[in-house]
Amino acid sequence: DAMVIQNPRYQVTQFGKPVTLSCSQTLNHNVMYWYQQKSSQAPKLLFHYYDKDFNNEADTPDNFQSRRPNTSFCFLDIRSPGLGDTAMYLCATSRDVRQGRNGANVLTFGAGSRLTVL
């Protein structure tokens, strides 16, 4: 059974048309991450939530926003997608990274949302 579920799996949008990607988890994990992965590149961390505490990466464009209304759900909003935002967007969760407990910082990924901007 899928434990981190991302929707939609595939999204095609027009340049400048807002997009929202969703992620839900049944693991009750504290931490939720959004990564962007472009073709043949490493996943790049955009931001993460530790509970409700939002942590933005310094180089994440303002065009990318996130919401976490509750423990189970997290959203990625792209306000005005550009052609360069075509990528796979990966949501991941982990239990409690800051405590360093064994296994707590292992990431569980969703299957990803593949976004194409035309």
Q: Cis omega before residue 81 (within 30°)?
A: no
110 binds another protein (CB under 8 A): yes
Closer of 17 and 52 to another protein (Cβ): 52
Is 113 exposed, middle or buried, given 0-12, 13-18 or 19+ CB atoms closer than 10 A?
buried
Using CB under 8 A, which of 87, 90, 115, 117 touches another protein?
Answer: 90
Cβ 36 to another protein, closest distance in Å? 11
Out of 11, 50, 60, 61, the residue judged to bind another protein by CB under 8 A: 50
Q: Sign of the CA dihedral 82, 78, 108, 52?
A: positive
Phi-psi group of 90: left, alpha or beta (phi > 0 → left; psi -120 to 50 → alpha; rest → beta):
beta
Does residue number 55 form part of the binding site for another protein (CB under 8 A)?
Answer: yes
User: CB of 29 within 8 A of CB of 94?
Assistant: yes
Interface with another protein, residue 26, by CB under 8 A:
no
Binding flag, residue 27, another protein (CB under 8 A): no
What x/- string results for residues 58 through 87 when contact with another protein is judged by CB under 8 A? ------------------------------
